[in-house]
Structure 1
């Protein structure tokens, strides 16, 4: 398939295979199926982005700044402090994302694949594998829940210190435009997030959120379910709370993948911290001035 679909992002190819869109002998097959002599394979139509579009994308500010946001790199891994407002990969109405941009910026790279995902408006630590062996090793750690990921989230109101864990099953619905909406439902998948209060303000709380499972929009929906939505969440947020924060200069989702700890595929423990961007730091500075005794 890779030879037939030149120019198509690998992430898109893997996705159509996972979803069963590739048919063998007119039937659906599992991703692990091995082709046999005589098999007839049908590949669905795939829209291939023009190379000119990719070249133009590289010139965009957030894309061209990616090399400056590298936190760590060696022969096996590349770790970014992903900026907010950019998807990690193309699809769902997005022509390109971080992984396509990196491939365009580094045409000589033989292998670049996302290890995990972040929402478009979430910033912070993002792992990219530079070797297939590294990708397999890290995926195994994710499967066994051996990768520790901690996020910082600014939420509405005073989060109770006694609320240290939220266990609420999450059900994902895909909209016609490709967008995703997640809600708490008994029909959903088991989901668990641990929380710790980092700092309190007059009408907000800064939380450390550590997802145990890795569901879509998990932290955003679990905080909403607890009555404390995240600041400037355009899907699950509270507009009145956002208005309270206007004088801080904040106008983006306050959710940041701050730290990640895992076993390096080549040996040893790897611990990475991604600093907050200027807008998030400025917001906290203003809140501290307004809440000097909390």
Structure 2
């Protein structure tokens, strides 16, 4: 199956689309097209703005006319994402909130939020394919592939800018639930440990606590203690890559089901009671509606696997 645009397209830039760079506009418009191909057609002058050649950094202006050449790209991987997302979209609790400006999903574990170096498609690309009539759909924030929970999507560029402003000013509160190994130390209510990205020989990205890394801060609160594990509420103040997973490891209590930073023996033990995924869930998101100005609080329920894990811990000798 192919995504195929067999003819030249002329796109009139609206006021809502103005202000963004040409390459970012094309990433959203040419869904599924590899980024290197997009940069290539810009360099070769196949993409024109007002009949002239421009660079990828050009910022679009209202009433600009963008010429797009015919584009063709394979879509095999997207079919898999669409199939997963279509099944995921069926339950009533999948869409947690929606209006003319916002869409909030309860993202499942195991699906990336966007395409990357090894993934052509993620939830945002699949969602655009499922809603071809939508003029604009963009992620406000991100979640790790294996993390589930509240995912906020903007339906207008002006709304996206306002929500990003709330993020920058730390006016958006995100809370997670995590099950960690052992007894969470009572004195670890806040962890401020700088984080540095590292790339291993195999290409796997890992993050480590390092004094030359970026400042990172996370709040922790114990929700429930078990004999060999603790359920904690986690509130990240900064938003670094793998921040929660690395800060819990730094405290000596890695997250259950974490195959990168976790404890293999602990993970195998929990597989025995049905946990085969990372126990990290973005359960609440609080922010101000960017259009109406009202306070919004969204809560995403735990999936069946996480609920069953906690129920089993309550019933077994693992519970205190």
Q: TM-score range by the shorter chain?
A: 0.7 to 0.9
Q: Is the Cα contact below 8 Å between 1:259 and 1:274 reproduced in 2? A: yes
Deviation, 1:160, is: 1.9
Q: Please, which moves more after superposition, 157-166 or 182-191? A: 157-166
Q: Is the Cα contact below 8 Å between 1:156 and 1:241 reproduced in 2? A: yes
Deviation, 1:178, is: 5.7
Query: Which of 149, 153, 164 is the matching residue for 1:128?
Result: 153
Counterpart CA distance in 2 for 1:279 and 1:114 is 26
1:274 corresponding residue in structure 2: 300
Q: Is the Cα contact below 8 Å between 1:63 and 1:98 reproduced in 2? A: no
1:61 corresponding residue in structure 2: 84
Within a 5 Å distance, the mapping from 1:34-113 to structure 2 comes to 49-51=73-75, 53-54=77-78, 56-57=79-80, 59-66=82-89, 68=91, 69-113=94-138
Could you say what secondary structure the match of 1:60 adopts?
helix
Could you say what secondary structure the match of 1:65 adopts?
helix
Counterpart CA distance in 1 for 2:122 and 2:254 is 27
1:128-175 CA distances to partner (integer Å, 9 max, x unpaired)? 000111100110000011110000000000012221011100001245
1:86-128 CA distances to partner (integer Å, 9 max, x unpaired)? 0000112112100001000000100000000000000000000
Counterpart CA distance in 1 for 2:59 and 2:104 is 33
Given the alignment of the two structures, is residue 289 of structure 1 paired with residue 312 of structure 2, yes or no?
no
Counterpart CA distance in 1 for 2:179 and 2:26 is 46
1:40 corresponding residue in structure 2: none
Given the alignment of the two structures, is residue 140 of structure 1 paired with residue 165 of structure 2, yes or no?
yes
TM-score, normalised via structure 2 length: 0.77
Deviation, 1:242, is: 1.2
Instruction: Please say which structure displays the higher CA radius of gyration.
Output: 2
Deviation, 1:283, is: 0.2
- Cα distance change of structure 1 residues 133 and 8 upon mapping to structure 2, 3 Å threshold: same
1:36-61 CA distances to partner (integer Å, 9 max, x unpaired)? xxxxxxxxxxx97425653x235523
Q: Is the Cα contact below 8 Å between 2:81 and 2:121 reproduced in 1? A: no
Counterpart CA distance in 1 for 2:144 and 2:114 is 10
1:262 corresponding residue in structure 2: 287
2:17 corresponding residue in structure 1: none
Could you say what secondary structure the match of 1:223 adopts?
helix
Measured on the aligned residues, the alpha-carbon RMSD in Å equals 2.9
Counterpart CA distance in 1 for 2:200 and 2:32 is 23
Deviation, 1:276, is: 0.2
Could you say what secondary structure the match of 2:272 adopts?
helix
Counterpart CA distance in 2 for 1:151 and 1:203 is 20
Counterpart CA distance in 2 for 1:4 and 1:290 is 53
The size of the alignment, in residue pairs, is 271
- Cα distance change of structure 1 residues 271 and 170 upon mapping to structure 2, 3 Å threshold: same
Query: Which of 169, 173, 177 is the matching residue for 1:152?
Result: 177
1:26 corresponding residue in structure 2: none
